[in-house]
Structure 1
């Protein structure tokens, strides 16, 4: 199979038929073999019924329905597990991503041998305050911490080699930083392509102000995991060692001073350096324990179920 199109969605019943027709037109005009996998992330409208009807007339349409809303990352994760195409395309269901971009994205992955191509919506039609400004801040911070020179990490329109999506774990809300996950997994041929951005045609955006805060928290998380996720003792052990040495140095100083230079002066417990030494040694010990616990968790963890699927179509 040439192409798998993965489309996570939440309450997009009005756009699904139009999006399906558009994708099929592109696929047939380029003679691609394909599958379209809709991931219904707990929609409360008639989105699933639309997907069922589409699957009845076209066996290339597949669907996964979550029991409730788990988030875009979980939807992509479920889709990535099922895809069979050599090239995997992800796009949003709100018609803001153009299926006309698929042939060139496919060419870049299949013929130019890129691992991942991320869309760049250079000209946007979103609210500048609600989406444009936060996106620019996220992207600037992500470029700085990851070393990837991409302009739009969070663009829903991306293309991947099949092996890439099979070897990354998209969880939490890490869909914003999939290129970083791919880089951390060892895939370095990552680039971007300027893609068309459409104004939303139906419904309203699903993003709120919490997207601004969550984006930065996720970036901190992915930075930490990329550097210390496999070796937490390297961070916590180092911090624990530094704090413990500081505490022991103050304690040694107080002991020497009391024994040899000021035996009749204030008690050690009356000096502020005593409490500084005590606190830093305690903190150092706690950092060591955190590192040990992290190592134990890494060695004993098992995969946990992150979402519940209530229905499937053709998969």
Structure 2
């Protein structure tokens, strides 16, 4: 199979039929063998009914339905697990991503040898204040922190070699950082392609300003995981050593001063250096404990299902 198109969605019943027709037209005109995997992330409208109807009419269409809304990352993870195509293309269901981009994305993966190609919505039709400016700031921070040079990390239109999606773990809200996850997993051939961005035709966006706050917090998380996820003691232990060294240094100074230099002076407990020494040694000990707990958790954790599937069609 050439292509798997993975589409997570939430309450997009108005656009699904039109999106399916568009994708099918592109696939047939390019003679691709394909599958379209819709992941209904807890929709409360008629989205699942439309997906069910499409699966009955076309064996290329497959559906996954969650019991409730678990989030886009979990939906992508479920789609990646089921995907069978040599190239996996992800896109949003709101018609803002153009299926006409798929053939060129496929070509960049298969003929140009890239592991991942990310779309870049260079010309956007979103609000400048609520999306464009925060998006530019977010992408700048992501580039500086991750070392992956992309202009649009959050673009839903991406293409991957099948090996990439089978070897990365997309969880929480890490869908924004799939290129970073891929790089950390050893897939370093990452490219970017300018893609057409269209104004939303139906409904309203499901994401507000809070996604950028969550995005920055996730950026810190992925930085920590990429550097210290396997050995948290390396970070917390180093911080603990620094704090304990500072505390020990102050304690040594106070002891020498009291015993040899100024034995009749103020009590040690009346000096501010005593409290600095005490505080830094306590903090240092806490860092060590955090590091040990992190190591223990890593070695004893059990994988837990992050989403529950209610229905599957055509698998």
Shift, 1:212, TM fit: 2.0
Query: Aligned partners of 1:110, 1:300: CA distance in 2, in Å?
Result: 40
Could you say what secondary structure the match of 1:137 adopts?
Answer: helix
- Residue of structure 2 equivalent to 1:275: 275
Size of the aligned set, in residue pairs, is 315
Shift, 1:119, TM fit: 0.2
- Residue of structure 1 equivalent to 2:173: 173
Superposed structure 1 runs of 4+ greater than 3 Å apart: none
Work out whether 1:237 is the aligned partner of 2:237: yes
Cα displacement string for residues 234-275 of structure 1 (whole angstroms, at most 9, x for unaligned residues): 110000000000000100111111100111111111111111
- Residue of structure 1 equivalent to 2:302: 302
- Residue of structure 1 equivalent to 2:164: 164
- Residue of structure 1 equivalent to 2:56: 56
Query: Aligned partners of 2:133, 2:66: CA distance in 1, in Å?
Result: 31
Query: Aligned partners of 1:77, 1:168: CA distance in 2, in Å?
Result: 9
Q: Is the 8 A contact 2:16 2:47 kept in 1?
A: yes
Shift, 1:150, TM fit: 0.6
Query: Aligned partners of 1:301, 1:211: CA distance in 2, in Å?
Result: 28
Could you say what secondary structure the match of 1:265 adopts?
Answer: coil
Query: Aligned partners of 2:239, 2:141: CA distance in 1, in Å?
Result: 25
Cα displacement string for residues 90-134 of structure 1 (whole angstroms, at most 9, x for unaligned residues): 000000000000000000001111000000000000111121111
- Residue of structure 1 equivalent to 2:248: 248
Query: Aligned partners of 1:130, 1:69: CA distance in 2, in Å?
Result: 24
Work out whether 1:20 is the aligned partner of 2:20: yes
Q: Is the 8 A contact 2:119 2:157 kept in 1?
A: yes
- Residue of structure 2 equivalent to 1:83: 83
- Residue of structure 2 equivalent to 1:32: 32
Shift, 1:169, TM fit: 0.5
Cα displacement string for residues 113-170 of structure 1 (whole angstroms, at most 9, x for unaligned residues): 1000000000000111121111111100011111111100000000000000000001
Could you say what secondary structure the match of 1:230 adopts?
Answer: coil
- Residue of structure 2 equivalent to 1:152: 152
144-153 or 2-11: bigger deviation: 144-153
Query: Aligned partners of 1:224, 1:138: CA distance in 2, in Å?
Result: 17
The answer for unaligned runs of 5 or more in structure 1 is none
Query: Aligned partners of 1:179, 1:84: CA distance in 2, in Å?
Result: 20
Work out whether 1:191 is the aligned partner of 2:202: no
Give the CA RMSD over aligned residues: 0.6
- Residue of structure 2 equivalent to 1:207: 207
156-165 or 213-222: bigger deviation: 213-222
Shift, 1:299, TM fit: 1.1
